[in-house]
Structure 1
Amino acid sequence: MLRALFTGTAQHRAAWLFGFICSAVPGLVFAALPIPAEGIPALRIQGSNTIGAALGPALVEGLLHAQGLQNVHIEAGAHENERRVLGQTPAGRTILIEVAAHGSGTGFTALKADKADLAASSRPIKDSELANLASLGDLKSRKAEQVIAIDGVAVILHPANPLHQLNTEQLAQIFSGEVHDWEDLGGTGGAIHLYARDDHSGTFDTFNELVLLKYGKTLARNTKRFESSEQLSDEVSQDRGGIGFIGLPYVRRAHAVAIADGDSKPMLPTVSLIATEDYPLSRRLYFYLPPQGLQPWADALVQFAQSSKGQAIVANNGFIAQTVQAIKVQASAGMPADYQAIVKQAQRLSVNFRFAQGSATLDNKAQLDLQRVVDYLKTHDKLNGHVTLVGFGDAKSDPARAALLSKLRAMAVRRELVKAGVVLRDIRGLGDEMPVAANNADEGRIKNRRVEVWVY
């Protein structure tokens, strides 16, 4: 921990005092953390507006309370979309944590410039950013890349707009300006007005990758751009011709539509569909902390965010927590017969296991989900013979190969669950059945390569 204090600039290092919060203070949940000099932030967070507008400060508040601090509160920062979270130790020392929310890309830039200790991002780190920050360690490693919540990019319309569903290709045509009248989409005639987050936004990056770039499109020049999620949503809800995209907590008074991708069924951004990441525009929210010279307050915040208390704060702020729950699913005619049999007898857990790109290895989120699933099974006395795993995959020219690969993915999950003492009831591989995304791009293929968990 002490080595972490000597990795910043000389000015920043000199500012730290080696006082410690007393471990006897009631409510402490982590090892003692260093106390900086008055006025020097204990932690600097920069990045996503989706996270930093409310969720980030709320998690910081929770951490300070968990550390036994008093008079914990949030103040406005020096600039718009910036916050200061403060608390006092029992000895009267002030702890300050700064949160700047100007877009995901700004978080990685700030890490490079030593102006942040933790980057908040509503998209995965880009390969170019990963290479640029290589001196800080592998930011794709399990320790560095932390999924703290699940969100859905909701497509929103004016409340009076009669449209209820769109597919991703239509969205690409709309936001590129190729389709510019609502009548062309079966709605009430009138010009389409476009609203989007700015170029620093992870929300925009997500929509750009999942929709525009997927169809070789770029955002229309006449699109109105916003740094604030709340302002964008409010503008759409007041414009009868408006359409925008926004993080789930910011739908507010607007009307969200169901989205289909490829052969998937249209899906609304509901809690269950976003939790399993089946919703076509679902996404993960991340904290990235440099693994070399680990900053102790950043590490403590990540641990708190992953805890049950932290995930409760995630849910209270309108995002989807990673807490495992059982969901009753209604059988439908479009389901394979053997899948319908499972649906009628069992409940689906609110987690899908997915894999690192081009690999049979479970990704970083799945590694933590394993323990969450095991904890659920222990709590509900379902360790012995109550679990069926169902694997799915992307389309292959040979259906038998697709079925085999999907079962092998389920077996990879089984191996890890067996290590924790879980005895499975059954394993199924359904190949390319029931896609949740189009198979013509890597992002869609990755989403289709999944393993569901069903409990009896």
Structure 2
Amino acid sequence: MKKVIGLLTAVGLITAPLANAETVTVSGSTSVAHVMEVLAENYQASAGATVEVQSTGSSAGIRAAKDGTSMLGMSSRNIKDGELTDSTKEIVIARDGIAAAVNKANPVQDLTQEQISKIYRGEIKNWSEVGGEARPIVVVTRENGSGTRGAFEDIMKLQRTVNGHKVSAIVPTAQVGNGNGMIKTIVANNPYAIGYISLGSVDDSLTALSVNGVKPSDANIASGDYQIARPFIVLKNNDAPQSATKFIDYVMSNEGQSIVANEGYIRVQ
């Protein structure tokens, strides 16, 4: 009996480190992934755990959390009815604005929400109609399934109903970029382009427009004055392993939320 107990103890000592070292898998929104990768890197350094972050898009992240193919899912849009089961919990880890961005050479600095919507519907086609040069507007959008696109369409009312189904109202001639980085590259290299990206991804390569006279800033998003904004959501099933729960606890801690703020997003606690 002593030998059996000794063997079980040895097995326990061998397997315990493996359990503790279980890799936390996170997949979904490319926008959320931007800050999630930084959170994962810092968590790994402090906790000695491994976190793998994959940018697959919000819709894919929601499915992954629901199906259990990923421990955690990421979404940068609100979750629709029927997308999740009752056992899946939504956790808002940050808030982010969506910036309408133009080339640095573009003299237009401010548009109304209605003007932006009309540009994306193809109803305003020339920059001269909104105070710019007499040049055609090059509309740039995100790919289907993108949480940023879904949130942008909802907020800007860029959807229409066809045969009882909601479809995008964005002009079909719009250029499509996969991810914030691609949108930035397209707009930064075309003086007549307009695109939309996560506010946390804005840099000196382009200009983030004021909307209705309100600049896209953390303070204006927090106050509700800048209205093109959305939540960053992490999805976790009730049966997710303890390692995933511990990582989420870190994300929601003061240290994790400080990283959120340092990366240009709005902390939620």
Classify the TM-score, shorter chain. 0.7 to 0.9
Asked if 1:306 corresponds to 2:252, the answer is yes
Partner of 2:223 in structure 1? 276
Partner of 1:317 in structure 2? 263
Equivalent position SS for 2:70 = coil
Asked if 1:257 corresponds to 2:209, the answer is yes
Partner of 2:82 in structure 1? 128
Distance 1:66 1:278, change over 3 A: farther
Equivalent position SS for 2:237 = coil
Partner of 2:164 in structure 1? none
Distance 1:224 1:318, change over 3 A: same
Distance 1:64 1:248, change over 3 A: same
Q: 2:42 aligns with which of 45, 56, 62?
A: 62
Asked if 1:210 corresponds to 2:155, the answer is yes
> What amino acid is the match of 1:254?
L
From the CA coordinates, give the structure whose radius of gyration is larger.
1
Partner of 2:16 in structure 1? 19
Number of residue equivalences: 249
Task: Trace 1:399-414 onto structure 2 (pairs within 5 A).
Answer: none
Give distance in 2, aligned partners of 1:276 and 1:214: 27
Give distance in 2, aligned partners of 1:214 and 1:228: 21
- Paired-residue identity, %: 28
Equivalent position SS for 1:120 = strand
Q: Which has the higher helix share?
A: 2
Partner of 1:240 in structure 2? 191
CA deviation vs aligned residue, 1:284-339 (integer Å, no higher than 9, x gap): 11111112x132122112111111110121122222223xxxxxxxxxxxxxxxxx
Partner of 1:167 in structure 2? 112
Mapped contact 1:229–1:246 kept (Cα < 8 A): yes
Task: Trace 1:84-95 onto structure 2 (pairs within 5 A).
Answer: 95=49
Task: Give the superposition deviation at 1:259.
Answer: 1.1
Task: Trace 1:417-456 onto structure 2 (pairs within 5 A).
Answer: none
Structure 2: any 5+ residue segments left out of the alignment?
A: 1-13, 162-167
Task: Trace 1:136-215 onto structure 2 (pairs within 5 A).
Answer: 137=87, 139=88, 144-213=89-158
Give distance in 1, aligned partners of 2:55 and 2:140: 19
CA deviation vs aligned residue, 1:180-200 (integer Å, no higher than 9, x gap): 111111211100001111112
Give distance in 2, aligned partners of 1:250 and 1:51: 11
> What amino acid is the match of 2:39?
L
Asked if 1:50 corresponds to 2:36, the answer is no
Mapped contact 2:160–2:169 kept (Cα < 8 A): no
Mapped contact 2:27–2:73 kept (Cα < 8 A): yes
Q: 1:118 aligns with which of 58, 72, 87?
A: 72
Task: Give the superposition deviation at 1:20.
Answer: 4.5
Task: Give the superposition deviation at 1:215.
Answer: 8.0
Mapped contact 1:59–1:301 kept (Cα < 8 A): no
Distance 1:62 1:208, change over 3 A: same
Partner of 2:165 in structure 1? none
Equivalent position SS for 2:111 = strand
Of residues 176-185 and 95-104 in structure 1, the stretch that sits farther from structure 2 once superposed is 95-104
Q: CA RMSD in A?
A: 2.1
The structure whose RCO (Cα within 8 Å, separation 6+) is larger is 2
Task: Give the superposition deviation at 1:249.
Answer: 2.2
Task: Give the superposition deviation at 1:113.
Answer: 3.4
Structure 1: any 5+ residue segments left out of the alignment?
A: 1-16, 22-32, 37-41, 70-94, 261-265, 323-371, 373-456
